Amino acid sequence: MTVELHKDDELAVLRLNRPDALNALSFDILRQIGNAFDEVAAMPDARALLITGAGDKAFCAGADIKELRNRRLVDQRRGAELGQSVFAKLDRLPIASVALVNGYAFGGGAELALASTFRIASPNAVFGLPEIKLGLIPGYGGTQRLPRLIGAGRALEIIMTGRNVKFDEAERIGLVNAVAEGDLMEAGREFAARFTRYSLPVLEFARRAVQRAGEMPLYEGLQVEAELSTLAYRLQDAEEGMAAFEEKRKPEFRDG
Ligand code: CAA
């Protein structure tokens, strides 16, 4: 298998394992990733998903360029839709995802990281959407997710020049949430532990509300927020959280 999925305590861990091609995304690998995301969605006790790439050189160097040439337009279009729909599954997962970017995250690899809820970079991480150098533009969500994350001006400059963005710049412009000082997997575990102790359904409401911020006008988004915050209030976990505050103790959330 070139896509491996395992449980590590309360975390699901997905690893792209094709290091000889810098974990490039063949269409077969994309389908495997989609199936793995479906499995994660059905895991009863996973509280976050970590996504990583095998080897120390690349998280993922993007779409498999060798598969891209001499295709019918209709197949190219379906390929883009496949990549987009597989990565969009991350939005609908009941748990948050964290991309652990070790080395190159180019093209579809950067787009996989962008589709994740959070990104942590190692000090050798390099991001890029180099499609312009191939005479292409990003096709697995990069033109839509990058500007939402770092603003249209910066996103356009990165997309239109195809230039590399190293880990430190990525952190400065908000492309990554954190840079790992030591072991990347350990940094991913620690990062996830900062939120996985909270109520899972409430975490999901928070993700849904923030997702809508990028999709709808302010006053519609505020309505969504009012509805989701009321839903959170109806859960036992909200009662427990507020009671624990008053009783000056740690809350014990039960995900309900
Ligand atoms: N597709 C297929 N194979 C790839 C690949 C890719 N995207 N990226 C790397 N590889 C393969 C190389 O062909 C090479 O294989 P061989 O040993 O069989 O020749 C192996 O991985 C190692 O790569 P390099 O020898 O090139 O390694 P390097 O350290 O010299 O360079 C790199 C690393 C700068 C990342 C370079 O490999 C590179 O530029 N790769 C392509 C990156 C790219 O353009 N990505 C965008 C793809 S298009 C896309 O993703 C569209 C979209 O929106 C979905």
Residue-wise DSSP of 96-109: EEEEEE-SEEETHH
Residues 254 and 201: their CA atoms lie apart, in Å, by 10
Please give the pLDDT value at position 107. Answer: 98
Q: Whose CA is nearest to atom 6 of ligand 1?
A: 64
Contact 79 CB / ligand 1 (< 6 Å): no
Atom of ligand 1 nearest to the CA of 62: 50
Q: Which residues are the active-site residues?
A: 111, 131
Task: For 68-109, write each residue's pLDDT tens digit.
Answer: 999 999 999 999 999 999 999 999 999 999 999 999 999 999
Residues 197 and 181: their CA atoms lie apart, in Å, by 23
Residues 166 and 83: their CA atoms lie apart, in Å, by 24
Atom of ligand 1 nearest to the CA of 139: 53
Q: Is 82 helix (H, G, I), strand (E, B) or coil?
A: helix
Contact 65 CB / ligand 1 (< 6 Å): yes
Task: For 172-194, write each residue's pLDDT tens digit.
Answer: 999 999 999 899 999 999 999 99
Contact 146 CB / ligand 1 (< 6 Å): no
Q: For residue 58, count CB atoms less than 10 angstroms from its CB and return exposed for 0-12, middle for 13-18, buried for 19 or more.
A: buried
The pTM (predicted TM-score) of the whole model is: 0.97
Tokens of 102: 């070790």
Please give the pLDDT value at position 60. Answer: 98
Residues 98 and 187: their CA atoms lie apart, in Å, by 11
